[in-house]
Structure 1
Amino acid sequence: MPVNAEDLPVAAAPGDPSPPPGLLVTGRFDETAGYRVDRPDGSASWLVVWTTGGRGRLRQGAAEAHAAAGDLLVLAPGVAQEYGVAPGARNWRFWWAHCQVRPGWLTWLRPYAVGDGMYAVTPVPAALHARIGAALRRTHADARWTGTGAPPTAVDAGELVAVAHGTAARELALGALEEAVVLATATARTPPPPPGTDARVHRALAVIAADPGAPHTVASLAAGVALSPSRFAHLFTRQAGQSPMRALREARLRHAARLLESTELSVERVAAASGFVSPFHFSRVFRERYGVPPGAYRAAGPR
C-alpha cells in the first residue's frame, strides 16, 4: 500500500511504528520537553538524525548518546530504540530520515560505532554545519519530486514530512543524504595535533589525509608549509615517527581499503584512485600491509 506524508504522524509518539522498509521518509522537527519515541522492536529501517538545536537523548539496545547541535546519530534497524528531548533540555530541533542505507555508508560509519547498531558521529566541525544542513534540505526537497519538471528547490515550511515516491526521487534524496553522512564522517575525527607537534607537520598530514591519491612528493608537501625539502623531511620524521613518503603510502593503502570495501571499482582503478602508478606494485604493498591481495580483501567483505 502506498504511503503518503499525510498518512504519517507529524511527530512519532511512543508505540508509533517506524515507516515501512524500502521507503525514504524524511523531515525536520522541533520538539519540546516530554517528546519521546519508544520502539521496543526497533525500527524497520535505518534512522539518520542531525541535530540543529537543543538536546536529544537516544538509546539503542544498551548504547546511549546525547545529541547537541552538530551531532549526527545513525541507528540501525531491528534493535530496541528510544529517543526524545534530553532531560533538562527545553527542546530538540533536528532533521531525520528513515531509509535503507547504501552499503558503502557502513565503511564511513564504522569508526563511530558505540554498540548495538548505534553510530555517533561527533564532533562535526562547525565550518561544515551549513553545508550539511543544505544537503539535508535538499534531501527533503528531492524526496518530494514527482518526476515532472525540476525537483523542488526549497523546503515547504508547511510540509514537515516528505516521502520519496519512485526510484528517481528516492535515489536523488539518498544522494543528498549521503553527502551529509560523508561530510560528517570524514571530518568528525580529524585529530588535533598532539601537544608539541609543529603546526607545519600537522598541516602536511591534513593535506595527505584530504587527498591521499594526489601526486604528493616531499618537495610539494614541503612547499605547502614553506620549508625546504630536507628540513621538512627531518621535522616530519622526527614528529610523526615515520617519513613523509611512508605516511603517504599508509594513507593511500587505507584509502584503497575503503574503496575495495565500498565500491565495485576494479583493482586497477582502485590502485590509480589511491595514487599507485603500477597495479602490480599496489597489489604487492597491499598484501604486505593487509596480509591478503586486494581481490581477496574485497571478497572477505567489510571489516
Structure 2
Amino acid sequence: MTSASFRVRVRNGPAVAHYPPGASLGPRVLPCFEFVWMLDGRATWEHIPDGAEPARVPLRPGLLLLSRPDLRERYLWDPDHACSHAYVSFYADGADDYGRWPTTQPFTEPLTGLCRYLLWLAGVDSAAASARTATVLGWLLDVFLDGPLGDQAEAALPEHVLRLADHVRAAWRGGPARPLSLEEMAAAARVSPGHLARLFRERFGVGPVAAVELIRLARAATLLQRSTLTIGAVAGACGFVSPFHFSRRFRVGYGVAPRAYRAFPSQDPLDPVRRAGLAPLARQLLVDDV
C-alpha cells in the first residue's frame, strides 16, 4: 500500500509545545499517528515494547519523528535546558501496514517547507485553513514515506561541491554569471584543482568548468525565453565575452543558435543540465539563492 492509498484526518495541532528543563511525557499509547520535530533543544524518544528494553531515538532540530498507533512511548526532554517542539497528530484511514514505516527522516526539502507551512496554517482561523492543513499533512506523510521525486542520494551533494556552490552564488550575486577558473573553484572547494576535476568527472561526467558553463547557458536560455534583452545583453549577463562566443557555446549545448531558440522556445532551459546529471548543482546555483 502506498501513502496515496489512505485519507488523512487531523486530530490535534499543528501546534508548538514548550518545556522547562527536565520535563517528560508518558509512558503513553497513542490512538493515532503523530509527527514531532524539535524547534529548540534536544530530547529522547523511547519506544517501550512489552517485556523488552526501550528503543531510544535522540531528537534534535533537523529530524522529523513519526510515532504511530499502539506504540507505548515516552519523551524525556532536555534535563538542563528549556526546549520546544512542534507536533501534529492525525489519523490515516486505510493504513494497515504502518509497522514497516520509517520512524525518522532528516529534514530535507520539501519536508522542511511543508512543516513550516503547517505551523503557519495553525495561525489562520478559517475552515479553508483547516481543510488545507489536512491536505498539506497528507503531502508531508507522502514525502516522509516515499521520499521526494527523483534520486535523493543524487540530490545530496558532497561538502566540497556545496562549498563551491556557495562561492559561485556569491560571485554571481548582483552581477553577471561570470566564468570561474578551475583554480578559483578548487580554492573555494578546498581541494586541489586535479582532485576537483576528478571528483566532478566521476560524479557528473564533465569537469567543473564545463559544468558551470552549462549552468550559465541554462540561465541564458531562461533569459532568452523570458525577457526582451538583446542577444548581446543576454551574453553579457551570463558572463560570455561576446555575442559571437555566446552563440557558439549556446549552439553546442542546445543544438540551435540563441535567436532560433528564442523564436521557437520549445525546449526547457534546464533540459541539457538534467541530461548531464547536473540538476542538483543547478538547483544550488539557480534556485536556492532566490
TM-score (norm 1): 0.40
- Could you say which structure has the higher helix fraction? 2
Tell me which structure has the larger Cα radius of gyration. 2
TM-score (norm 2): 0.41
